[in-house]
């Protein structure tokens, strides 16, 4: 079939029009470590405990609900902020779990995943020259979002002790300047698996009290908190919720990371600015998935059962790792387990992960990928959102080290 009106097919770059190379907006950014490690894991046929995603199916009731919505003809643009039934279901969940009322009409926006929620929140409030405090190790989308907004990231490093990673709040307080516009926090924390406690929140509140500093709270792992801890959502604390964008994700909660749907809850004034950017950033998020999620959310059991479900995976994985030469750090939340490998190898973290994937057949993520400046702690992250048989296969390989 003739697919072109011209006689010859040309390539996109065949005409030399003297185009100057683009000046990159993110010159220090390469392909994300998650994509790189997943590609290597596939190439080497390694057990992929690198990129965080489940290797098991979601509840079939969820795709059934989405399919029903599609078949019912719910396939056109939804309202810009998301369909109202989903926003209402989100508001109800936050009310029940965290005793905080958000107005579904004006204070909740459905996003194309947590990452878009973070980018849009940062773009809507960070102006060129503004400073944003980032606590490292930090999820890899934070700094590019700040830089795209023209802001300046100011880093504070978590400390690692016997009880794992913790935030040194005094250093956070010391990092504040008149230019600080936003502070970004993340609990349960990727990659460390640490969770903020009430004492952390108390210190955070004291730091922000009386300032104009906004808060971005990444809570995409909100339903994965273990043992006797509870999720200290910022929504629980009126004085903090009043200045916060709270970001969450359905992908993590319902085992559908590829659907890329999440939400941002924020007071009306912040949500209004968020939506100004959101409407020209993604405009809307796909309709049938929103209807499917709204009906699936009527039953709270799936998200309430998530913590015991993942806690047993964590326990299985940790019990196996205890028989290896890796040193375990705590994993009080998320589906990530950090380990210290210094008894096994002197390699830098990224090289260790490449070696582990290639030679041992288990992919992991270097913690150094979550720092801006080179930093080697001899710690890597495994994801345990996997079938038990996958975890056991990985453990068998790791036990040879």
Alpha-carbon span 373 to 213, nearest angstrom: 25
Position among 48, 51, 217, 390 found at the interface with ligand GLN (CB under 6 A):
51
CA atoms within 13 A on the CB side of 28: 12
Question: Between residue 183 and residue 212, which ones bind ligand GLN under the rule CB under 6 A?
Answer: 190
- State the nearest-atom distance from the C-beta of 34 to ligand GLN, in Å: 3
Given the complex with ligand GLN, which of 190 and 248 has the nearer CB atom? 190
Given the complex with ligand GLN, which of 130 and 218 has the nearer CB atom? 218
Secondary structure (3-state) at 61: helix
Convert residues 27-46 into a mask of x (bound to ligand GLN by CB under 6 A) and - (unbound): -----x-x------------
Check residue 361 and give left, alpha or beta (phi > 0: left; psi -120 to 50: alpha). Answer: left
Residue with tokens 């479900």: 309
Given the complex with ligand GLN, which of 47 and 204 has the nearer CB atom? 47
Given the complex with ligand GLN, which of 243 and 252 has the nearer CB atom? 252
Question: Between residue 3 and residue 32, which ones bind ligand GLN under the rule CB under 6 A?
Answer: 32
**How many residues bind to ligand GLN according to rule CB under 6 A?**
5
Convert residues 93-122 into a mask of x (bound to ligand GLN by CB under 6 A) and - (unbound): ------------------------------
Integer-rounded Cα Rg, in Å, for the chain is: 22
CA atoms within 13 A on the CB side of 164: 17
Contact 261, 250 (CB under 8 A): yes
Given the complex with ligand GLN, which of 30 and 178 has the nearer CB atom? 30
Q: How is residue 399 annotated by DSSP?
A: T
- State the nearest-atom distance from the C-beta of 185 to ligand GLN, in Å: 16
Instruction: Decide: is 55 part of the binding site for ligand GLN (CB under 6 A).
Output: no
- State the nearest-atom distance from the C-beta of 32 to ligand GLN, in Å: 5
Q: Which residue is nearest to ligand GLN (CB)?
A: 52
Given the complex with ligand GLN, which of 252 and 275 has the nearer CB atom? 252
Given the complex with ligand GLN, which of 303 and 336 has the nearer CB atom? 336
What the block records as the tokens of 67 is 């399919």
Among 298, 217, 188, 310, CA closest to 255: 310
Hey, how many other C-beta atoms are within 10 angstroms of the C-beta on 95?
A: 13
Alpha-carbon span 319 to 182, nearest angstrom: 40
Biggest alpha carbon–alpha carbon distance for the chain = 71
Position among 48, 52, 188, 234 found at the interface with ligand GLN (CB under 6 A):
52
Residue 245 main-chain phi, psi, to 5 deg: -100, 115
Strand partners, 246: 217, 265
Given the complex with ligand GLN, which of 88 and 140 has the nearer CB atom? 140
Using CB under 6 A, list all residues that contact ligand GLN. 32, 34, 51-52, 190
């Amino acid at each position: 079939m003739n697919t072109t009106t011209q006689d010859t097919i040309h390539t996109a770059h065949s005409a030399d029009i003297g185009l100057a190379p683009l000046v990159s907006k993110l010159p220090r950014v390469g392909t994300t470590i998650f994509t790189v490690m997943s590609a290597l894991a596939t190439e080497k046929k390694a057990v992929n405990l690198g990129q965080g995603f489940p290797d098991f199916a979601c509840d079939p009731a969820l795709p059934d609900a989405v399919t029903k919505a599609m078949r019912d003809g719910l396939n056109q643009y939804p309202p810009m902020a998301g369909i109202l039934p989903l926003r209402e279901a989100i508001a109800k969940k936050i009310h029940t779990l965290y005793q905080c009322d958000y107005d579904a009409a004006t204070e909740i926006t459905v996003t194309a995943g947590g990452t878009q929620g973070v980018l849009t929140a940062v773009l809507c409030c960070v102006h060129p020259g503004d400073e944003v405090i980032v606590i490292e190790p930090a999820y890899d989308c934070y700094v590019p979002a700040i830089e795209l907004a023209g802001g300046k990231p100011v880093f504070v490093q978590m400390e690692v002790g016997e009880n794992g990673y913790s935030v040194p709040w005094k250093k956070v307080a010391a990092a504040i300047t008149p230019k600080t516009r936003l502070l970004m926090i993340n609990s349960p924390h990727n990659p460390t698996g640490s969770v903020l406690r009430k004492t952390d929140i108390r210190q955070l509140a004291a730091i922000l009290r009386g300032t104009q500093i906004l808060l971005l709270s990444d809570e995409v792992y909100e339903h994965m908190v273990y043992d006797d801890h509870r999720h200290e959502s910022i929504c629980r604390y009126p004085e903090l919720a009043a200045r916060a964008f709270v970001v969450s994700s359905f992908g993590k909660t319902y085992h559908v990371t590829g659907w890329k749907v999440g939400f941002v809850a924020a007071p009306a004034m912040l949500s209004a600015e968020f939506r100004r950017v959101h409407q020209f950033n993604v405009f809307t998020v796909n309709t049938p998935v929103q209807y499917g999620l709204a009906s699936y959310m009527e039953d709270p059991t799936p998200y309430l059962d998530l913590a015991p479900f993942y806690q047993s995976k964590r326990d299985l994985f940790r019990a196996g790792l205890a028989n290896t030469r890796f040193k375990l750090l705590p994993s009080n939340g998320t589906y990530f387990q950090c380990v210290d490998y210094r008894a096994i190898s002197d390699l830098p973290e990224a090289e260790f992960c490449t070696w582990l994937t290639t030679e041992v057949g288990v992919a992991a993520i270097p913690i150094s990928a979550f720092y801006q400046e080179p930093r080697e702690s001899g710690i890597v992250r495994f994801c345990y959102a996997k079938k038990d048989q996958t975890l056991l296969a990985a453990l068998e390989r790791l036990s040879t080290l």
